[in-house]
Amino acid sequence: MDSAIRSFFHVLFNALQQGSTTALAALGIVLIFRTSRTTNFAQSSIATLNAFVAAWLFSSHGFSIWVATPLALVTAFITGVFIDRAFIRRAPKNNPIARPIITLGIIMIIIGILPMVFRIGQSRPDGSPITYRLPRFFSGGIDVFGASLRYNQIFTVVVSIALMVGVFLFINHTKWGLATRVTASDETTARLMGVPTGKVTMFSWAFAAMFGTFAGIVLAPLMNMSPTFLVETQVNAFFASVVGGFTTFFGPVIAAYIIVFLDSYFPVLFNFWDGADIWGTSIVFIMVLIFLYFRPYGLFGEKPIKKV
């Protein structure tokens, strides 16, 4: 029993951290989808690019993680504005698949330029390979029911939830948030009412890039940094967006925690099965597909009403 409790809390702490980063990524995806009607497949690539900026500042120039992170968030903001202005806004509006295809192209561009800009995979003059890493914001931790709860996990969860709560309050209780909700409801009508929909979509791309970048920075110490190290987070974020519902801002956030916890706890629950680690994620996604068959508009999404 003690071992089961320890395993449960170990998985819970890890799932809270992974769920928080996935929720941030999902919130960025939905924010862009609601305001610009674009499925952003490049969310993880944009985040990866700016996470490498933080790692480059830390590894090559000696900046602390506390300085490198705000600078990387600034570059993420600029990246989001640039992508919206240079690519998304210039896409033909009468072609519904043009913008999603553009985001696929952005993935290829970023994956192509990362090794060139940061010399990933190349060697230094002394022959050692060029690698990048990021440290945790905090070291150490405490024991809770025999499981280790690291201070960095607490920091990640608290900051992520604070950011998401801040976004929800901003959207529901500010004038600019009202403009965001009106744009999300009907961009054409919002434009006719004088809402600056262009600025709304631009800032949506900018903040979505910042959310993904922060998620990438806190996940970087847990894995090897590569041009594709955030792909799994992107996939989980998309599933969370679909399960939670693309028509709501908070639904994907809740769904992200549910999906990540199930994905993390499945191998522990079925540890007697040798294939649990391999098939755990697949079975969770199969459960998601079955759920969507009965509720295609998501857990918190609204059923579309056809008007005659």
Q: Are 33 and 174 in contact (CB under 8 A)?
A: no
> Does the residue 288 lie in any domain?
no
Q: Is residue 103 part of a domain?
A: yes
Share of the chain above pLDDT 90, in %: 38
User: Per-residue confidence at 248, pLDDT binned at 50, 70, 90?
Assistant: confident
Q: How many domains does the chain have?
A: 1
Domain assignment present for residue 19? The answer is: yes
* Contact present, 233 and 17 (Cβ < 8 Å): no
pLDDT at position 92, please?
82
Which domain covers residue 18, as residue numbers?
A: 2-228
Instruction: Please determine, for residue 291, whether its predicted confidence score (pLDDT) is greater than 80.
Output: no
Give Cβ neighbours of residue 57 (< 8 Å, ≥ 6 apart).
63, 67, 68, 71, 72
Query: First vs last Cα of the chain: how many Å apart?
Result: 59
Question: Which of 19-23, 128-132, 135-139, 208-212 has the least mean pLDDT?
Answer: 128-132
pLDDT exceeds 70 at position 270: no
**Domain membership flag for residue 117:** yes
Q: pLDDT per residue over 50-101, tens digit each?
A: 999 999 999 888 899 999 999 999 999 999 999 999 998 888 877 878 889 9
Place of tokens 């500042």: 57
pLDDT at 217: 95
**How far is C-alpha 228 from the chain's CA centre?**
13
pLDDT score for 189: 80
Q: The tokens of 158 are what?
A: 């608290």
Domain-embedded: residue 264:
no
